[in-house]
């Protein structure tokens, strides 16, 4: 009991140390959280003490419970504040930096005439070698397949002159990363592809420039969506602007139309506008940002201009 109480107190202490605003939950929510801690077995603590379980794994047990608690809203807010210090203490940034490195290495290994699955295997191999594997199944879309928002890689061959879309994230020390980039192996890009790419890039950059504490995620989504709408592609952007990233690849907050979630310092959210033209091509540019006291910090740094490979 004493050890359980120490873990609960540590969570609150981390929240205060991170400067997070911890809402006053109901007595029932506090009791539910304590009960969740009690559910962690004695063998878990014994394993932690013997070095057979990490603090991350123990925290994951609490997070899993919190997601299923009856008073989900209050418990979620409490655990988000409690573990924000861990998530923003360099772990997510380290995962994103590794994702950048893997993408740079993979570009040296992939060439036109490889299949989507071949390219996926190259990226996966680097993730297994340098990190803890994939945060999600790497998405590789050749040519018109990129018009499918979350295409499953298959035997489609990436032909010379076609664009390629890659959505990837390595897992490192229990946390996820996420990024989407586009490649084109031709030095003379299709004019429409170039125009659409520039629109998506403008939407991505505008949303990053606008993200700040106090802004709602719905307003953030609108910044990017308005640019795509004014360019005449409103119906071609059919998903939300972004999502949170942490122990899982899709976490709160969700940056979607009319969402009222207020951004706070320490929150992580992807900025990933896209335009998808069935039968032609698709463009998505995704960055992960950390909300700061004055705006946001982009955690991945690979060039967002389409890369030219296989020349």
Query: What 3-state class would DSSP assign to 293?
Result: coil
| 99-113, 241-255, 282-296: the lowest-pLDDT one | 241-255
- Does pLDDT of 32 surpass 60? no
24, two tokens: 């006053």
309, two tokens: 């490979």
Q: Cite the beta strand spans of the chain per DSSP E.
A: 139-142, 164-168, 179-183, 242-244, 251-255, 268-271, 274-277, 281-284, 287-291, 296-298
Packed helices 92-109 and 116-130: angle between N→C axes, nearest 10 degrees: 130
Q: Tokens 């379980």 appear where? A: 53
Residues 12-21: tens digit of each pLDDT: 434 433 333 4
- Does pLDDT of 36 surpass 50? no
Q: Which of 35, 36, 31 is nearest to 58 (CA)?
A: 36
Assess contact for 235 and 264: CB atoms under 8 A: no
Whole-number average pLDDT of the chain:
78
67, two tokens: 């997601």
Give the model's confidence band at 306: pLDDT under 50 very low, under 70 low, under 90 confident, else very high: low
Which stretch of DSSP H or E encloses residue 268? strand 268-271
Provide the pLDDT for residue 151. 93
Provide the pLDDT for residue 92. 85
Residues 255-299: tens digit of each pLDDT: 999 999 999 888 899 999 999 999 999 999 999 999 988 999 999
Residue 240, by phi and psi: left (phi above 0), alpha (psi -120 to 50) or beta?
beta
- Does pLDDT of 31 surpass 60? no
Provide the pLDDT for residue 4. 37
Provide the pLDDT for residue 246. 85
């Amino acid at each position: 009991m004493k050890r359980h109480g120490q873990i609960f107190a540590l969570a609150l202490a981390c929240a205060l140390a991170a400067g997070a605003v911890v809402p006053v939950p109901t007595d029932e929510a506090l009791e539910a959280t304590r009960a969740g801690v009690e559910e962690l077995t004695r063998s878990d603590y014994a394993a932690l003490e013997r070095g057979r379980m990490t603090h991350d794994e123990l925290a994951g047990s609490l997070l899993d419970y919190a997601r299923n608690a009856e008073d989900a809203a209050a418990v979620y807010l409490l655990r988000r504040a409690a573990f924000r210090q861990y998530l923003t203490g360099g772990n997510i940034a380290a995962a994103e930096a590794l994702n950048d490195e893997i993408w740079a290495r993979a570009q040296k290994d992939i060439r036109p005439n490889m299949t989507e699955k071949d390219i996926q295997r190259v990226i996966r191999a680097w993730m297994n070698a340098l990190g803890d594997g994939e945060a999600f199944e790497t998405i590789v879309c050749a040519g018109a397949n990129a018009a499918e928002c979350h295409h499953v890689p298959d035997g489609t061959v990436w032909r010379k002159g076609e664009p390629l879309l890659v959505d990837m994230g390595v897992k490192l020390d229990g946390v996820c990363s996420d990024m989407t980039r586009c490649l084109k192996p031709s030095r003379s890009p299709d004019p429409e592809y170039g125009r659409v790419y520039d629109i998506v890039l403008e939407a991505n950059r505008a949303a990053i420039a606008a993200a700040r504490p106090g802004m709602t995620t719905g307003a953030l989504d609108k910044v990017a969506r308005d640019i795509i709408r004014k360019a005449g592609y409103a119906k071609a952007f059919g998903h939300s602007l972004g999502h949170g990233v942490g122990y899982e690849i899709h976490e709160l907050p969700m940056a979607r139309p009319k969402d009222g979630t207020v951004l706070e310092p320490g929150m992580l959210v992807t900025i990933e506008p896209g335009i998808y033209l069935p039968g032609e091509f698709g463009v998505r540019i995704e960055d992960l940002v950390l909300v700061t006291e004055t705006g946001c910090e982009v955690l991945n740094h690979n060039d967002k201009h389409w890369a030219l490979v296989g020349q």
